[in-house]
Amino acid sequence: MSFLARHRIILPVVSLAVLLAATFYMQPRAMSYFGLNLLFNLAVPIALATIAQMMIIMVNDIDLSLGAFVSLVACVTATFLHDTPMLGLLILMALILAYAALGALIHTLDLPAIVVTLGMSFVWGGLALFILPSPGGASPDWLRSLMTVKPPFAPMAVVASIIIAVVTHLLIMRSGIGTVLRGVGGNARSVERAGWSVIRLKALAYGLAGLFGVLAGMALVGLTTAADANIALRYTLLSIAGVILGGGEFIGGKVSPTGAVIGALTLTLAASFLSFMRLSPDWQIGAQGAILILVLTARLIFRQKGAEA
């Protein structure tokens, strides 16, 4: 195996570094504590959502309801968690449990996750509209101060990204249960033969996704100070792209938490970069796709080279 194939984290890191250098070149003002925070603070909820998506992709499923789920969490956070914190907390915990139950259901009935989650996206979306029919609500004060905290040396966005990456890396790559979870994606049958209950593991993976989805929604409200029912719909696709950009694969339990966080940062930065370039909005979405394809092509080429070697 070549160096690059063994260290799949290299490519995401290089993509981010190249894009960051280009952004700094175009907009030197971004090269500051204040600038970095502006550039990346909205990437924090995206990074959390990407981790949530990664948990699902890790067990060979895909979650098309994540954006709607994060929107729902944002609505709950901006209403219940703000007005009646205990009730809000209970609802958020119930949502995490619902996600875990969904994982168990998908496994027991052998349903395709893509269909179930697509269906659930309408349920989450409907609940969000029910809770917050028109945009509004307010962020709990502690959450707002958490998201606008100004740590020394590095801005909040950077510190938060590093914390998310380290914590999830320890959880998924280093811990015993993390290894088993990845095993479910790699070969569920052998994990089952080894004496593990796959249904519980799937519920755990979905529960973790629910947990990170909830964190993403809360972080988002902390940044925006309010919510609306459509606030995070784009997160579904962004999170999938983030996982893949960060070196994850759709099958086989091959994921990288650090890569996922970097993928989320890269996607956010790509949008800013295109905006700095004064590219017409008609082209921007296409250009965003082009960047994605470019990185994936690079990955494919490196992998083929690795296979030859």
Partner 1 sequence: MMISKMLLGAASVAMVAGLAQAESHMADTSGKRIALSNNYAGNSWRQAMLQTWEEVGGQAVADGVLAAADAYTTSENQATEQAAQIQNMILQGYDAIVMNAASPTALNGAVKEACDAGVTVVSFDGIVTEPCAWRIAVDFAAMGREEVDYLATRLPDGGNLLEIRGLAGVFVDDEISKGIHEGVAEHDQFEIVGSVHGDWAQDVAQKAVAGVLPSLPEIVGVVTQGGDGYGAAQAFKAAGRPTPLIVLGNRQDELQWWAEQRAANNYETLSLSIAPGVASLALWVAQQVLAGNEVPKDLTVPFLKITQDTLDESLASTPEGSVANVTYTLGDAKQVIADAQ
Question: Which residues contribute to the site for partner 1 (CB under 8 A)?
Answer: 27, 29-30, 34-35, 38-39, 41-42, 45, 129, 132-137, 220, 223-235, 268, 271-272, 275-276, 278, 281, 284-285, 288
User: In terms of CB distance, is 2 or 225 closer to partner 1?
Assistant: 225
Give the shortest CB-299-to-partner 1 separation in angstroms: 24
User: In terms of CB distance, is 33 or 302 closer to partner 1?
Assistant: 33
Residue 252: CB atoms within 10 Å:
13
Give the shortest CB-217-to-partner 1 separation in angstroms: 12
User: In terms of CB distance, is 134 or 174 closer to partner 1?
Assistant: 134
Give the shortest CB-223-to-partner 1 separation in angstroms: 5
Give the shortest CB-103-to-partner 1 separation in angstroms: 26
Give the shortest CB-69-to-partner 1 separation in angstroms: 15
Contacts of 11 by beta carbon, 8 Å cutoff, 6+ apart: 4, 247, 295, 298, 299, 302
User: In terms of CB distance, is 73 or 227 closer to partner 1?
Assistant: 227
User: In terms of CB distance, is 74 or 244 closer to partner 1?
Assistant: 74
